[in-house]
Chain A
Amino acid sequence: MSARRMPRSWSDVAGGLLLYGLAAFSLLVLVAPSLVVIGISFTEKRYISFPPEGFTFHWYWAILEKQQLIDAVGVSVRISLAVMLICLAIGLPAAFSLVRGRYRGRTALGAFVVAPQMMPGMVIGIAILFFGSFFAFRQSELMVVVGLSVFCLPFVVRVIMARLAGIDVTLEEASSNLGADRAQTFRRITLPQLLPGVLAGAAFALIEAFDNLTVALFTASPRGRPLAVELYQLVQFDSSPIVAAISTLEIALALIVVLVLARTIGLERLPEK
């Protein structure tokens, strides 16, 4: 037996078509540049050009021969892990205070905490650089971590807050009524429900800190550059497709993280940037 369907009106059909059209367009705009980059990474030519010619993994092997790129990956991994941990360590308690707290100025404080979200990364980078110079705090890995934490924190706080606000407080009351103490209630009731928000925030901080250029450009020291800065330098002096190969790897990495998150918590809960 064929499935029965509700009759559809003309406006439904028109709306549906419009939606598909917009989606297709967005996909094109978003995905096309990535496809170009991925294509170039396999070219046999010695410089960046489109369309690619031939097919080779040469540029991927070439990455391994550039020690400064390998070092830069190490720096970026360290930075992004540190930023993620800092954002969670500050973001989680901050979100709790902002959602559950009962004190004057809570709303104002909330606005203040998420305000840097409006700030371009470049502004944050320059500000930290100048501010640091007051205390003889120089460009360094630590300064990048500080800058990126400031940059990422509002997003992390916001996703956790959104999730937290959706949790019914009576569930926690029910838990304590059944004999659980605060720690047990947090671990068994609050945290499991908060987890999608925490994971989404962590993933955001991780990805953003890994490939951020604008903040890192001003705060990284010339020795020990993170990957994004290293690549930026590279394209200025070297137009070999090696940059495309690295970008392709980054795209793959981001895709894997997003897929894992989508599988575990659902895409709709990821923070939009």
Chain B
Amino acid sequence: MHVVISDVDKVFGGTRVLKGCTLGLERGEVVSLLGPSGCGKTTLLRCLAGFLVPERGEIRIDGTDVTLVPPNRRRVGLVFQSYALFPHLSVFDNVAYGLTVRRCPRREIAERVREALALVALEGFAERFPAQLSGGQQQRVALARAFILEPEILLLDEPFNALDAKLRGTMQVELRKLVKRLGMTSIFVTHDQTEALTLSDRVAVMRDGIIQQLDHPLALYDTPSSDYVAGFIGTTNFVRREAREGHVALGGGLALPTAVQGPVQVVLRPENLRVRAVREGAAAPFTGKVTFVRPLGATVEYEIDAGADGTLRVVDLREALAPTFAEGADVAVVVRKPEACAILPGEPTR
């Protein structure tokens, strides 16, 4: 493991903001940190960068405990959520800053700054001052300023939030390529699920000062460890059941094998469900009335009022020329792959 954060607590004025936060990153891995506002993402990055000393727990880089190492000796690059550009320095001097304090030769600085600015598509802005740039341009200067030092560890706090969709797309690809080429271990905070799932090798879902789950994007989707994670990534139907004697009975004769006992929630992804007509003699786990239809062409989305199980959302693959069910129709809902349903023990915690 390159970076290991173990059991870190951070307290601000009596409030525990990080509560035993644990996270491990392999060398060269890109991990995105996903979580609602105020859950402690920035705080965690600030601990890693060395601006905050955790009250408990430790942070190791390459096996060395760095919890008490000052920020300027950590070689951990941080792109601040607020950019933190130096207002009295030009774009050139901002980007050059890290090299300047390391007393790099001028020639080399000029060359590398030029490259870094080209990377973020800001050639020709070198002489401007931060106040003369748009938010997106400032953000890119902040990125260039961090990249140029090629730190082994790069932390990015919502690095693309001020960019328009097109620029964001290109920057994401550029960032991923760059980070992979230089083999930087990186954590980046984002609120955008798609961004997290596209950019990263693994995704960490954070809630209330705790990393709830760290896993590959698809694993996170297929086998969420909690209803919180299941609900956070993609759309989900939850149905509550009792597990008895190694089985959860969904209804209509469908039973899912499980090792747990007692109350459970079954995670039913909309694309794992199928809508069909009610037929005599063919049992289905759910029946209900269609309350909403969104005919999208290749797929059709339904919302179905399934009585005690609430509203079920279904994304149905549409066969060519097939008609859709109309609103108000009585339908049955079946599960395509029962073995793909995650079963979460306990009552809902969302």
Supposing A173-B71, A178-B145, A184-B101 touch, asked if A189 and B86 sit within 8 A by C-beta, the answer is yes
Q: Known: A178-B98, A184-B101. Contact between A173 and B84, CB under 8 A?
A: yes
- Chain B 5-32 interface mask (CB, 8 Å, partner A; 1/0): 0000000000000000000000000000
* A177–B77 CB distance below 8 A: yes
Q: Can you name 17 A-B residue pairings with CB atoms under 8 Å? A: A170-B80, A170-B84, A171-B84, A175-B97, A176-B71, A177-B49, A178-B98, A178-B149, A179-B72, A179-B75, A179-B149, A180-B97, A180-B101, A181-B101, A188-B100, A192-B88, A193-B88
Residues of A within 8 A of B331 (CB): none
- Complex formed: what's the CA distance from A171 to B82 in Å? 10
Chain A residue at minimum C-beta to C-beta distance from B76 = A177
- In the complex, how many angstroms separate the beta carbon of A125 from the nearest chain B beta carbon? 40
Contacts of A192 in B (CB 8 A): 88
B87 adjacent to A180 (CB under 8 Å): no
A32 on interface, CB distance cutoff 8 Å: no
Q: Once the chains are docked, how many angstroms separate the CA of A7 from the CA of B77?
A: 51
In B43-101, which residues have CB < 8 Å from any A CB?
49-51, 70-72, 75-78, 80, 82, 84-88, 97-98, 100-101
Identify the closest chain B residue to A193 (Cβ): B88
A268 at the interface (CB under 8 A from B): no
Counting CB contacts under 8 A, is A90 at the interface?
no
Mark interface residues in A175-217 (1 if CB within 8 Å of B CB, else 0): 1111111001000110011000000000000000000000000
Q: Which residues of A contact B72 (CB under 8 A)?
A: 176-181
Which parts of B131-180 form the interface with A (CB within 8 Å)?
145-146, 149
Residue numbers in A under 8 Å from B50 (CB-CB): 176
Least CB distance from B61 to A in Å reads: 15
List chain B residues, Cβ under 8 A from A184.
Answer: 101
- Minimum CB–CB distance from B89 to chain A (whole Å) comes to 8
Given A174-B84, A178-B146, A189-B86, 12 additional A-B pairs, CB 8 A: A173-B84, A175-B86, A176-B70, A176-B71, A176-B72, A177-B76, A178-B98, A180-B72, A180-B101, A181-B101, A184-B101, A193-B87
* Given known A170-B80, A184-B101, A188-B101, contact A177–B71 (CB-CB < 8 A): yes
Give the distance to chain B from A194, nearest Cβ to Cβ, in Å: 11
Q: Which of A174, A179, A180, A193 contacts B80 (CB 8 A)?
A: A174
Known: A177-B76, A178-B145. A168 touches B102 (CB 8 A): no
Task: Tell me, rounded to whole Å, the shortest Cβ–Cβ distance linking B149 to chain A.
Answer: 7
Main secondary structure of the interface of A (DSSP, over half): helix
A161 to B102, CA, bound (A): 31
Question: How far apart sit A265 and B277, CA to CA, in the bound complex (Å)?
Answer: 79
Tally the A-B contacts, defined by beta carbons under 8 Å: 59
A192 to B89, CA, bound (A): 10
The interface residues of chain B lying within 8 Å CB-to-CB of A189 are 86
- CB-CB under 8 A from B85, the residues of chain A are 174
Selected contact of A177 from candidates B78, B82, B88, CB within 8 Å: B78
- When distances are taken between beta carbons in the complex, the residues of chain A under 8 Å from B76 are 177
Shortest distance between the CB of B70 and any CB in chain A (Å): 7
Which residues of chain B are near A193, meaning CB under 8 Å?
87-88
Whether the pair B86, A179 counts as a contact (CB closer than 8 A) is no
Q: Which residues of A contact B (CB under 8 A)?
A: 168, 170-171, 173-181, 184, 188-189, 192-193
Using Cβ atoms and an 8 Å threshold, which residues of chain A touch B87? Answer: 171, 193
Residues of A near B145 (CB, < 8 A) are 178
Complex Cα distance A269/B63, Å? 51
CA distance A128 to B188 in the complex (A): 61
Output the residue of B76, B97, B146 with the most chain A CB within 10 A: B97
Residue with the greatest number of chain A CB neighbours at <10 A, chosen from B72, B78, B145? B72
Closest to A180 in B: B101
A178 and B97 contact, Cβ closer than 8 Å, known pairs A173-B71, A189-B86, A192-B88: yes
Q: Determine the distance from Cα of A181 to Cα of B70 in the docked complex, in whole angstroms.
A: 9
Once the chains are docked, how many angstroms separate the CA of A106 from the CA of B316? Answer: 65
**A168 CA to B80 CA in the complex, in Å?**
13
Closest to A174 in B: B84
Chain A proximity of B225: nearest CB distance (Å): 33
Least Cβ distance of B34 to chain A in Å?
A: 23
Q: Which residues of A contact B101 (CB under 8 A)?
A: 175, 178-181, 184, 188
Residues 226-277 of B at the A interface (beta carbon under 8 Å): none
> When the two chains form their complex, are residues A168 and B84 in contact, meaning their CB atoms are under 8 A apart?
yes
Cα–Cα, bound, A174→B149 (Å): 13
**Alpha-carbon gap, A173 to B97, bound state (A):** 13
> B30: shortest Cβ distance to chain A, in Å?
20
- Residues of B close to A173: CB separation below 8 A: 49, 51, 71, 80, 84
B71, B77, B85, most chain A CB atoms within 10 A: B71
A170 to B86, CA, bound (A): 10
Which 5 pairs between the two chains have the least Cβ-Cβ distance?
A: A178-B98, A174-B84, A180-B101, A176-B72, A176-B71
A171 touches B98 (CB 8 A): no
- Smallest Cβ distance from B154 to chain A, in angstroms? 11
Task: Determine the distance from Cα of A149 to Cα of B146 in the docked complex, in whole angstroms.
Answer: 45
Least Cβ–Cβ distance between B143 and chain A, in angstroms: 13
Distance, CA A82 to CA B273, complexed state (A): 84
Give CA–CA (A92, B50) in the complex, Å: 27
Whether the pair A179, B49 counts as a contact (CB closer than 8 A) is no
Which one of A168, A178, A180, A189 has the highest number of Cβ atoms from chain B below 10 Å of its Cβ? A178
B102 contacts A179, C-beta separation under 8 Å: yes
**A174-B86 contact in complex given A179-B98, A179-B149, C-beta closer than 8 Å:** yes
A175 to B71, CA, bound (A): 9
| A170–B71 touching, CB < 8 Å | no
A67 CB to nearest B CB, Å: 48
